[in-house]
Structure 1
Amino acid sequence: MSTRKRTATRYTVRAFESDDRSAFLSLYESVFGHQRNADWFRWKFSENPYVDHVPILVAIEDGVPVGFRSFFAQEMRIGGVVRSAFQPCDTMVHPDHRGRGLFGRMNERAIERYTDGEPSFFFNFPNENSKPGNLAHGWREIGTVPAYYRPQNPISALGDRINAGPRRDVTDAQPTDDGPATAVTDTLEDAIATSQRASDRLLVESDSELEVEYYETPPAETLAAIYRRSIPEAIHTNRTAAFYRWRFDNPVHSYAAYVARRDGHPIAALVVSSGDEYARIIDTLPRTVESEPATLNRLLVSALGDCADRNYVEAFGETLPAPLRFRFYPDTRFPLSALIQPTSRTLLARNLGDEIDLESSSIASWTFSRLDLDTT
C-alpha cells in the first residue's frame, strides 16, 4: 500500500457541526488572507433562507477539522420554473494536509448527500486550482462569462513613483504630504475625472421625464418590482424582495442603489458596491438589459460620477447595455486577457438527479450579474 493511501485513511468526512465554526473562520483567514467573523458566517450559511442546515462538509483528522467544502444556497429561475441550487464556495484544506485527496473525498460526500433531493444542481466559477477536481467529479464546462473593467485613474498607479521624487539620503528625508509632486498628481487626477464625467454625459440621451433617485440602502420591494416587469428566460438567480433584503445584509460589504422613475413608476435600477480603490456594478434591472438601454446608461453615468475617485470600476456578465461604449473592457479579450486568467470566469454545472439537465446547456442559456456570485 502506498504512503498516500495509508495517510488518507486517517481522515473522515462528516457534516458541519456548530463547534466547527471557529476552526472554519481561522482556516479561512489563513488560506484566503481575509478575516471573517461570526456575523458573516451566520449571514452566509446559518441564516441563508434557501437551506435548512449549514451546507458544509468537514474533513477531520483525529477530531480536528483540516478541510471544508462549503456551498452557497440560492433559488434559481429556469424559464418559468424555480429550483434550488448550491454554488460551491470557500473550499479550503489546511496546507499540511493538501495532496491527500481531501478535496475529492469532500466532493464525493457532497454529491452523495445531495443527489436526488435538494438542491437540484451545482454551479460555480472555480479557480484554476479547484477546476480539475470539479471536472473529475462530474461537473461539465458550460462556457466563459466575461468580467468588465473600466480604468478610472491611471495616475494613481503611478502616484507612489511620482511622490517618491529624486532619491535622497534617508537622514535628510522629511514628510512631503503637500509637496509639488503631490500637487501635480492631484491636478492630473482631477483633470482626468472631470474629462471622464463630461465624456460620459455626452453618451446619454436627455430625458426630462426621467427622475433618478439615490438610495444608501437598496430598496428591496422596489428592486423586486422592477425585476418582475421583465424576467429573462435565461437561467439566473430568482430575485424577490426577501432575497434582496437578505442578500444586501452581507456584513462585509455596503451597497447603494440608483433607481430611475418615469411618472412616479420605477422602471430601472443599478446597485453598486465600493471599496477603497474600486467600485463594482453589482446588479442592474431589468435583467433583460436590452429592454431599457437608455435608462440603464443614464443610471450608469450617475454611478460613475459618484465613484470618479476610484481607480477602476468592475462589472460582470450581462449587466451593461453597451460596456465598450463606456470604456468597460472584457477580460476575455486582449489586452486584459493577457493579464487576467479567464478560467476564473468559466461556468461549470453538475446535475443532481434527473429532474433537470443543465450539464448540456450552453452559456447563452444563462445570464449573470455579480449578484449571482457568492463572493459579492
Structure 2
Amino acid sequence: MSIPTRTATQYTVRTFEPDDREAFLSLYETVFGHDRGADWFRWKFRENPYVDHVPILVASADGEPVGFRSFFAQEMRVGDAVRPAFQPCDTMVHADHRGRGLFDRMNERAVERYADGRPSFFFNFPNENSKPGNLAHGWKEIGTVPAYYRPQNPLSALGETRDAEPRGGSTKLQSADEGAATAVADTLEDAIATSHRAGDKLLVDSSTDLDVERYETPPTDTLAAIYRRSIPDAIHANRSAAFYRWRFANPEHSYTAYVARRDGEPVAALVVSSVADHARIVETVPRTLESESDALNRLLVTALDQHADRSYVEAFGETVPAPLRFRFYPDTRLPLSALIRPTARTLLARDLEGGLDLESSSAAAWTFSRLDLDTT
C-alpha cells in the first residue's frame, strides 16, 4: 500500500490582475476588520490620477491569492520639483501563510518593478509588524510624526455603564438610579461643552475682518487657490484642484469644509471628517500655518463648536497652528501617553531616483496633514 506524498505549497509573486479584486477585498476585511466595496477599491487604485496601473503585487499559493503589497500613488513636492511617489499601504498576508517570507518576496519584487525611478521614492508609516521588513529592504527611518487628540467628552465612557443590563436586585430601584446617573452625566457633558466653547472663544479675536463660510462639499478650486498663496518648502503632497477632487471623492467618508475670507478673498480653510464618535481635522491650508494663524484659529474654533458633541477631535502632523493652546495633546507625551496606546507614526523613506537623498532627511524636512496619508 503506497502512502500519498504531500506536496509543498508553491508560492509565486506577480502583478495584480482584475480578477484579484474580490480576493483583495475579502482578505482586507479578514485582516483589518473593515468592509470595503468595489467603489472604494476603484477610487483608491483605479481612479488614482497619479498612476496608470493598479500598483499592487500579489502573493499566490498554488495559484490562489493569499497576500497583497499595495501602493498609494501621490504627487509630492520636493523643493521646487514635483515628483511621483508611492506610499505602501494595505499590506496583508492570510494568517495561514504568514511566516513564509511572503512580505519579503513582495517587497523585493516591488523594488525591482519600480527601480527605474518612477516613482521617485517610497515613503510610509508602517506599523510595528511591517517596520522591520521595510528597514531590511532599504527603507530608512526619518523620525516620528505625532497625532494630536483633544478630549471633548471625558464622560463618554459612562455610556457603557448606563447601557449595562441590570444584575440582580430591584429592577425598579436600578432603573431610578440609572435615570439619575444619566441626568447627572448629561448635565456634566453640557457643562464641559459650554466650558470648551467659552475657553475657545477667548483664544481668538472676534473683531477680525474675517468672514467664515461652511461647505458640505469641500470647494476644491478654492482650497487649491489658498494652497498656492503660500507653498511650504518642506516635502508634502502637491495640492492641486485635481488632488483635492480625488481625495475628497473617498466613498468611505464625508467632509465638511470651513473657509475664511478677508475682503471677499479666501485666505484659509479647514476640512473636518466625522468618524464614529470622533472628528478628524484632515486638512488646513495654507500649509504654512504661521502665514494665516489667526484665520486658521478662527476656523478651528468654529469647527470645534460645531463638533462639540464628538467624544474627541483628532489632528495629525502639522494641522493646528498652536495645538496645546486649544487643548490638543500629542499621544507621545504625558498626559495622553499614560492613558492611551500611542498612535504616533514613524516615517520611513526609500529613494528610487538618484540624487534625492531623502533617506538622510529629518522629520522637520517634511510636513503632513491627514491628506498626506494613504487614507483619510
Contact 2:124–2:349 at 8 Å: present in 1 too? yes
The CA distance in 1 between the partners of 2:209 and 2:8, in whole Å, is: 67
Identity %: 78
| Inter-CA distance 40–335: structure 2 relative to 1 (3 Å threshold) | same
The CA distance in 1 between the partners of 2:123 and 2:33, in whole Å, is: 25
1:235-275, Cα deviation, whole Å (9 max, x unpaired): 00000001100100000010110000000000000000012
The CA distance in 1 between the partners of 2:199 and 2:39, in whole Å, is: 42
Contact 1:58–1:65 at 8 Å: present in 2 too? yes
Contact 2:331–2:344 at 8 Å: present in 1 too? no
Correspondence for 1:354: 354
Contact 2:58–2:68 at 8 Å: present in 1 too? yes
Of 166-175 and 308-317, more deviation after overlay is shown by 166-175
Given the alignment of the two structures, is residue 154 of structure 1 paired with residue 116 of structure 2, yes or no?
no
Given the alignment of the two structures, is residue 231 of structure 1 paired with residue 223 of structure 2, yes or no?
no
The CA distance in 2 between the partners of 1:171 and 1:322, in whole Å, is: 50
The CA distance in 1 between the partners of 2:218 and 2:353, in whole Å, is: 37
- Provide the alpha-carbon RMSD of the alignment: 2.1
Mapping 1:202-351, distance limit 5 Å:
202-340=202-340, 342=342, 344-351=344-351
Contact 1:77–1:237 at 8 Å: present in 2 too? yes
| Inter-CA distance 23–161: structure 2 relative to 1 (3 Å threshold) | same
By how many angstroms is 1:158 displaced?
2.0
The CA distance in 1 between the partners of 2:173 and 2:14, in whole Å, is: 59
Correspondence for 2:130: 130
By how many angstroms is 1:295 displaced?
0.8
Amino acid at match of 1:45: F
- SS of 1:293's partner is helix
Of 181-190 and 238-247, more deviation after overlay is shown by 181-190
Contact 2:123–2:350 at 8 Å: present in 1 too? yes
Given the alignment of the two structures, is residue 107 of structure 1 paired with residue 110 of structure 2, yes or no?
no
- SS of 1:359's partner is helix
Q: TM-score scaled by structure 1?
A: 0.94
Number of residues of Structure 1 aligned to a counterpart in Structure 2: 371
The CA distance in 1 between the partners of 2:40 and 2:186, in whole Å, is: 37
Contact 1:163–1:182 at 8 Å: present in 2 too? no
Of 10-19 and 197-206, more deviation after overlay is shown by 197-206
Contact 2:117–2:353 at 8 Å: present in 1 too? yes
The CA distance in 2 between the partners of 1:93 and 1:191, in whole Å, is: 48
The CA distance in 1 between the partners of 2:61 and 2:312, in whole Å, is: 44
1:261-308, Cα deviation, whole Å (9 max, x unpaired): 000000000000012310000010100001111111100000000110
By how many angstroms is 1:117 displaced?
2.9
Given the alignment of the two structures, is residue 61 of structure 1 paired with residue 67 of structure 2, yes or no?
no
Contact 1:144–1:343 at 8 Å: present in 2 too? no
Structure 2 unaligned residues grouped into runs of 5+: 1-5
- SS of 1:135's partner is helix
The CA distance in 2 between the partners of 1:20 and 1:176, in whole Å, is: 56
The CA distance in 2 between the partners of 1:89 and 1:265, in whole Å, is: 38
By how many angstroms is 1:163 displaced?
5.5
The CA distance in 2 between the partners of 1:164 and 1:68, in whole Å, is: 41
The CA distance in 2 between the partners of 1:163 and 1:32, in whole Å, is: 28
| Inter-CA distance 341–125: structure 2 relative to 1 (3 Å threshold) | farther
The CA distance in 1 between the partners of 2:360 and 2:212, in whole Å, is: 41
Contact 2:331–2:343 at 8 Å: present in 1 too? no
Correspondence for 2:47: 47
| Inter-CA distance 151–273: structure 2 relative to 1 (3 Å threshold) | same
Contact 2:166–2:174 at 8 Å: present in 1 too? no
| Inter-CA distance 173–249: structure 2 relative to 1 (3 Å threshold) | farther
The CA distance in 2 between the partners of 1:340 and 1:354, in whole Å, is: 41
| Inter-CA distance 177–134: structure 2 relative to 1 (3 Å threshold) | farther
- SS of 1:211's partner is strand
| Inter-CA distance 8–138: structure 2 relative to 1 (3 Å threshold) | farther
- SS of 1:194's partner is helix
